Amino acid sequence: MVSIVAQNVSVVFPMVGSDVRHGMKLKKQTERRGTQLGGKIILEDNRPAGILALDRLNLVAKPGDRIGLFGPNGSGKSTALRVLGGIYPPTAGHIEVNGKVSAMFSLNLGVNQEATGLENIELKGILHGLRREEIRELVPEIVDFSELGDYIHLPVKTYSSGMKMRLLFSIASAFRPDILLLDEWVSTGDKRFRRKVAQRMETILDQTPIVIVASHDHRRISSWANKIIQMKRGHAQMLDPVAFSEWQAWKEWKRGKKNRKKKKALQDS
Ligand SMILES: Nc1ncnc2c1ncn2[C@@H]1O[C@H](COP(=O)(O)OP(=O)(O)OP(=O)(O)O)[C@@H](O)[C@H]1O
């Protein structure tokens, strides 16, 4: 059965060389401002030695799970996705993955700028663990979806950034994974292409057994996810989706109330 199980998974980014010098300044600022952003800074002999980006993540994902990772900047969402996708090794803990994983972010990874669009399709396919015949079968669909026409035969370095994203999205979305990891909802290209992307993403989100999305968009997370993980300073907490929606609605109402009060005070003055 398709699944991901993470047990006490932590990720520490060590600070070395000049990082440590800059880290000293950062620590002083952090203390002064009392900010709660980012993973905990690990100190050794009062010197910053690393950042605890992910702190003992426990997760069990099964088919049908739609998991939303939510939290402020630096809370560990991207790190969690990258460690689950095998991009970062865990510093501690254990991850067991059953199924083909597609991390639909860092799409530039593994792209050869000198190679043509077609050659990059093959390169990416190999990186995804597909056989050459499987890749060849997907080529027409990828080329057609990208609408790159004759540019598919030119080196990728000649593409505009939008053209490159068209190619990379067309490739990434053609490989049908068992487990899909997304860092924010994908949207790329010009207006017409964005509509195509949205339609394709809807199908993929429907058909993929396990999907994990990190996002700041609490409304979308509320309406889509059946499991919600709130990240805070590297620490993950499972939230009840109904309680999450109510909490977000209350926060919005409070923000609205504050704004209305400000507006009234301005009108009265
Ligand atoms: N390559 C890196 N080297 C050192 N520290 C890193 C690195 N990547 C992330 N961090 C640190 O790890 C912590 C978690 O970062 P991460 O990118 O996972 O957060 P995030 O929740 O995805 O943030 P955002 O919403 O801003 O994208 C932060 O404190 C960040 O400073």
Q: Provide the pLDDT for residue 211.
A: 95
Neighbours of 209 (CB within 10 A): 17
Q: Is the pLDDT confidence value at 57 over 90?
A: yes
Q: Provide the pLDDT for residue 188.
A: 74
Asked if residue 208 lies in contact with residue 182, where contact means CB atoms within 8 angstroms, the answer is: no
Higher pLDDT, 15 or 84: 84
- For the segment(s) 3-249, the CATH number from 3.40.50.150, 3.40.50.2300, 3.30.70.3420, 3.40.50.300 is 3.40.50.300
Tell me whether strands 66-70 and 227-232 are parallel, antiparallel or unpaired. Answer: parallel
Least confident of 150-154, 217-221, 252-256: 252-256
Atom 26, ligand 1: residue with shortest CA distance: 73
Cα–Cα distance measured from residue 224 to residue 66, given in angstroms and rounded to the nearest whole number: 7
CA of 105 to the centre of ligand 1 (A): 15
DSSP-assigned letters across all residues of 147-185: T-GGGGGSBGGGS-HHHHHHHHHHHHHHS--SEEEEES-
Q: Provide the pLDDT for residue 15.
A: 84
Q: What is the mean pLDDT of residues 35-45?
A: 83
CA of 148 to the centre of ligand 1 (A): 34
Q: Is the pLDDT confidence value at 228 over 80?
A: yes
In this prediction the pTM is: 0.84
Any atom of ligand 1 within 6 Å of the Cβ of 38: yes
For the chain, which residues make up each domain, given as ranges?
A: 3-249
CA-closest candidate to residue 154, choices 163, 145, 162, 142: 163
Cα–Cα distance measured from residue 49 to residue 62, given in angstroms and rounded to the nearest whole number: 36
Any atom of ligand 1 within 6 Å of the Cβ of 53: yes
Which tens digits make up the pLDDT trace of 237-266? 988 877 777 777 787 787 887 788 888 888
Coil/strand/helix, residue 159:
coil
Any atom of ligand 1 within 6 Å of the Cβ of 50: no
What residue ranges in 115-209 does DSSP mark as E strands? 179-183
CA of 226 to the centre of ligand 1 (A): 25
CA separation, residue 18 to residues 13, 49, 164, 192 (Å): 14, 12, 34, 46
Asked if residue 208 lies in contact with residue 176, where contact means CB atoms within 8 angstroms, the answer is: yes
Q: Provide the pLDDT for residue 18.
A: 56
Tell me whether strands 210-214 and 179-183 are parallel, antiparallel or unpaired. Answer: parallel
State which ligand 1 atom lies nearest to the alpha carbon of 216. 25
Q: Provide the pLDDT for residue 27.
A: 54
Any atom of ligand 1 within 6 Å of the Cβ of 71: yes
Atom 15, ligand 1: residue with shortest CA distance: 74
Interface ipTM: 0.97
- Amino acid in position 82: R
How many CA within 13 A on the CB side of residue 163?
Answer: 16
Q: What is the mean pLDDT of residues 12-17?
A: 85
CA separation, residue 118 to residues 106, 143, 157, 256 (Å): 19, 8, 13, 51
CA of 249 to the centre of ligand 1 (A): 27
- Tokens at 16, concatenated: 């070395």
Q: Provide the pLDDT for residue 189.
A: 74
Mean of pLDDT over the chain: 88
At 119, the pLDDT band (50, 70, 90 cuts) reads very high
Q: Is the pLDDT confidence value at 17 over 80?
A: no
Choice from 13, 30, 84 to test ligand 1 binding pocket (greatest atom count within 8 A of CB): 13
